[in-house]
Amino acid sequence: MRLSLVGFLGIGLFVCATLAFGQVKKIDDKVLKNAGKGTEWTMNGMDWGEQRYSTMTQINPGNVSKLAPAWSYELGPGGGNQQATPLYSNGILYTVTNWSIVAAVDAKTGKEIWHYDPQADRTMTQPGRSRLCCGVNSRGVALYEGKVLVPVVDGRMQALDAATGKLLWSSWAIPEPKEGEYSPYSLTMAARVAKGKVFIGNAGAEFPPFRGYVSAFDVNTGKELWKFYTTPGDPSKGFENKAMEAAAKTWVGEWWKQGGGGSMWDGMSYDPDENLLYVGTGNGTVWSADVRNGGRQAANPDNLYIASILAINADTGQLKWHYQCTPGDEWDYDAIQHLLLADIRINNRNRKVIMQANKNGYFYVIDRTNGEFISAAEMSQVSWATGLDPKTGRPNVHPDALYSSKKGVTVYPVQMHNTSQMSFNPNTGLIYVPIAAENTFSFVAAESYAPTPGSQNFGLNLGGARGGVPMASPPPHGPDRKNPDGSKVRGGILTAWDPATQKERWFALGGGQSGGGTLSLASNLVIQTLGNGRMKAFTADKGEPLLDIALPVNSGVGPPMTFMLDGKQYIAVMGGTGAQGRGGPGGGGRGGAAGGPGRGAPPAGPAPFEPTAAAAQSGNNAPAAPAANNNPKLLVYAVPN
């Protein structure tokens, strides 16, 4: 790991910059609790509830069409999509790019103050050493009490001095790898902070043996305070808590030998009144329920707590409640998507809710205080389930959706929603979600299975349909959207959804389930960034198009954010991928320690995308915008004076 020469010089620049910025602003719980009402962007989702809503109104329907570049900052050679949301405080933007390289940038001029390269293990994408299912992703840092909290993709949780970029502490948020041994674990989600703790979950369920967990660290020392596993371990060794003992009753066979799965890589939020940390969990290890549970069962076991929303006491790490969106999931229907908290009125009652647009095609509204199911509805075409129980929300799985090595199935959807970020506007009562309107994937279980370390393992026969295995096709149901000419809407869209009524108010073509995202403003605006290099704006209430411009990158675009500096409102977003050829250890940085790669070293290659992610992404309405230089950039826009 290292602080670059530019970062060293940046210390001097920072001393000068303090004349303009003042000292690094102390960000504590009081600041974070009121973040949603301010003009800074100090957390991943703007506030603890992850609403991605700003009360600022300077950029509005009357002038958003004039939005123009203010400056840009090149982050380095890259190595994959940009998925982080930049954070802003006291005149400085903080962000992270591929391989967990962090930068602090003067928000007025775009000049680098410091940058830090943790020298993440670049062998993570090499054949036989792979442990990244879906690219070299870093989804965000956190700011707290003068520190930048950085999840490093190879499994380390680190704290940097926000003023200088100097490393303060480093702790493992995965089982500490042993020299010469393969680890299936990684960290790709954004860190969150509250009450003197930094929270992070780990990923790797496609690389067994993997048993996921979320952990909390002391922000000052890096000491691990607690961890909560998402699946139960070997019963013969006892259980960590009552939640694991209960979960074990929903598994059969020797599941623990593969770890169980339950990755985390996106959705997390926090309610200070309930003192609950909410996190979404991923698929089981492996995908096929037959393989995972040691053979075909009379009914698929639920396999807690995969594909679930968990509510965990932030102080103790104990589970308060859970809601499993897809019991016994075998279609890669992770529940890791954006978890958004809001207080809304439903059926003449004020409800404290947590909401998610799930991969499985349903939009969920859950009581965040106790996990009570309130409502859910099809947001895309769905065929794996015939509907949901109106009282519990438990899906009624179509009998033909259950597959084996002898009989496969093609289901809707493959991924309705993944990591594209949604937003909520309390003035309109609508939530703005980029989704895939309809898509499908075919599943056939493997006839035999043996895990292959360092490669993705699904327990599937991916050529089954082409190989003559009989395939079922349950009929789809759900929104049947039409274009103005009457043709069927396909691919990616932005939907404006009323969570109180579970109805769509309007939709617009463009975007998709992964990449980009939305930002909602009190000025009746929705800003959308698209993974293919475009930025759009709509009226929040009616969806009237107001802006559609090409960014100076043509892929790898992340979600937008906004901030105000010297009385002027800005929009910022990261985008670009850079080179993605294969490389060796240490590649992809902007400089190196002694014996390491120098500035501009070739980046290591991308991890192969898991099949459902690749299939879903290929179906988006996303023609690329032209770009001469697609290296990762931090892009800042404003309305000219």
Question: How far is Cα 97 from Cα 137, in angstroms, rounded to an integer?
Answer: 8
CATH code of the domain containing 582: 2.140.10.10
Please indicate whether residue 480 is annotated as part of the active site. no
Q: Determine what percent of the chain is predicted with pLDDT higher than 70.
A: 90
**pLDDT at residue 15 is higher than 50:** no
**pLDDT at residue 627 is higher than 80:** no
The pLDDT tens digits of the residues spanning 369-415 come to 999 999 999 999 999 999 999 999 999 999 999 999 999 999 999 99
**pLDDT at residue 321 is higher than 70:** yes
The pLDDT tens digits of the residues spanning 576-601 come to 998 754 333 223 333 222 222 222 33
**pLDDT at residue 7 is higher than 80:** no
Pairing of strands 471-472, 408-411: parallel
The pLDDT tens digits of the residues spanning 408-426 come to 999 999 999 999 999 999 9
* pLDDT tier for residue 608 given thresholds of 50, 70 and 90: low
Sign of CA dihedral 77, 78, 82, 86: negative
Let me know: does 344 contact 500? Beta carbons within 8 Å.
Answer: yes
Is the residue at 330 inside a domain?
yes
Mean pLDDT of the residues in the chain? 90
- Total structural domains within the chain: 1
Q: Give the C-alpha distances (Å, rounded to integers) separating 620 from 228, 306, 483, 636.
A: 36, 27, 15, 26
Residue with structure tokens 């940038």? 105
The pLDDT tens digits of the residues spanning 264-298 come to 999 999 999 999 999 999 999 999 999 999 887 77
**pLDDT at residue 533 is higher than 60:** yes
Is the residue at 74 inside a domain?
no
What angle is formed at CA 621 by the lines to CA 281 and CA 528, rounded to 5 degrees?
Answer: 70
Lowest mean pLDDT of 198-212, 295-309, 367-381, 487-501, name the range. Answer: 295-309
* pLDDT tier for residue 618 given thresholds of 50, 70 and 90: low
pLDDT at residue 235 in the model:
97
Question: How far is Cα 513 from Cα 386, in angstroms, rounded to an integer?
Answer: 22
- Amino acid code (one letter) for 160: L
Is the residue at 494 inside a domain?
yes
**pLDDT at residue 47 is higher than 90:** yes
Sheet holding 471-472, edge to edge: 441-443, 408-411, 471-472
Residues whose CB falls within 8 Å of the CB of residue 574, separated by 6 or more in sequence, listed in order: 75, 82, 84, 86, 95, 97, 557, 558, 632, 633, 634, 635
DSSP for 303-369 reads -TTTTEEEEEETTT--EEEEEESSTT--S-----S--EEEEEEETTEEEEEEEEE-TTSEEEEEETT
* pLDDT tier for residue 9 given thresholds of 50, 70 and 90: very low
Does residue 18 sit in helix, strand or coil?
helix
Q: How many CB atoms lie within 10 A of CB 465?
A: 16
Is the residue at 615 inside a domain?
yes
Is the residue at 215 inside a domain?
yes
- Once rounded to an integer, what is the mean pLDDT over residues 477-494? 94
Q: Give the C-alpha distances (Å, rounded to integers) separating 133 from 124, 169, 286.
A: 10, 28, 13
For the record, the structure tokens of 448 come out as 């035999």
Domain extent at residue 568 = 2-49+80-638
- Amino acid code (one letter) for 369: T
Question: How far is Cα 245 from Cα 233, in angstroms, rounded to an integer?
Answer: 9
The pLDDT tens digits of the residues spanning 426-451 come to 999 999 999 999 999 999 999 999 99
Question: How far is Cα 634 from Cα 101, in angstroms, rounded to an integer?
Answer: 13
- Once rounded to an integer, what is the mean pLDDT over residues 612-633? 71
- Once rounded to an integer, what is the mean pLDDT over residues 308-327? 98
- Once rounded to an integer, what is the mean pLDDT over residues 491-507? 97
Is the residue at 54 inside a domain?
no
For residue 203, the 8-state DSSP code is B
The pLDDT tens digits of the residues spanning 102-136 come to 999 999 999 999 999 999 999 999 999 999 999 99
Is the residue at 58 inside a domain?
no
Q: Determine what percent of the chain is predicted with pLDDT higher than 90.
A: 84
Let me know: does 159 contact 143? Beta carbons within 8 Å.
Answer: no
Q: Which of 271, 329, 332, 334 is catalytic?
A: 332
Is the residue at 57 inside a domain?
no
